[in-house]
Amino acid sequence: MARSVVGPEIEKLIQLLARLPGLGPRSARRAALVLLKKKEALMEPLAKAVAEAAAAVSVCPVCGNVDTQSPCTICRDAGRDRSVLVVVEDVGDLWALERATATRGRYHVLGGVLSPLDGIGPDDLNIASLNGRVREGGISEVVLAMNATVEGQTTAHYITDQLAGSGARITRLAHGVPVGGELDYLDDGTLAAAMKSRTPF
């Protein structure tokens, strides 16, 4: 262990920064140094923003999204298509779909995927609340926007079974050729999935 060259406050700051995704110990030290050098322009506003967000953040009781208002900004948005419900694994997936302006529907955040090996069953996810929302009526389509992983697809199948008889049409995201993708560079599974889910031209 290297001799500490900074006080405990800075050491703690570096350790916490290092826990952020994309920041290892080295990047965390660099980030901490930038903060220290830009105390008024960056460090103090950041500390204030973090404190304010921490005080206000909560999980939306309707959809499971994380936001600083409850119900969340999306659930409050009167301009949303209330007949379409997009089911995602995590808040990050919701943000990604919003960045892409992929839908005007509302969301339901599961909070993970079924994973027997990790001991994650249906009761650990927001599946019962999804079922309740869909069976309340008014939803004509449920889009299962799960990751194209084994766990994601297993979860999608489970939800499809749960929603049987609800009257809502269950759809899922297409699997296939990415925008700008060249066939020669695709893996076999993606290419086979693209062929299987081909659409009329």
**Nearest approach, Cβ of 101 to Zn ion (angstroms)?**
18
Strand pairing class (66-67; 58-59): antiparallel
155 contributes a contact to Zn ion by CB under 5 A: no
Cα–Cα distance for residue pair 5/11, rounded to 1 Å? 9
Contact mark string toward Zn ion, 37..76, x via CB under 5 A? -----------------------x-xx-x-----xx--x-
Determine phi and psi for 172, rounding to 5 degrees.
Answer: -140, 165
Cα–Cα distance for residue pair 54/79, rounded to 1 Å? 28
114 contributes a contact to Zn ion by CB under 5 A: no
If the CB atoms of residues 65 and 126 are measured against Zn ion, the closer one turns out to be 65
Determine phi and psi for 33, rounding to 5 degrees.
Answer: -65, -40
If the CB atoms of residues 75 and 177 are measured against Zn ion, the closer one turns out to be 75
As given in the structure block, the two tokens for residue 90 are 């995590």
If the CB atoms of residues 71 and 112 are measured against Zn ion, the closer one turns out to be 71
For binding to Zn ion (CB under 5 A), which residues are involved? 60, 62-63, 65, 71-72, 75
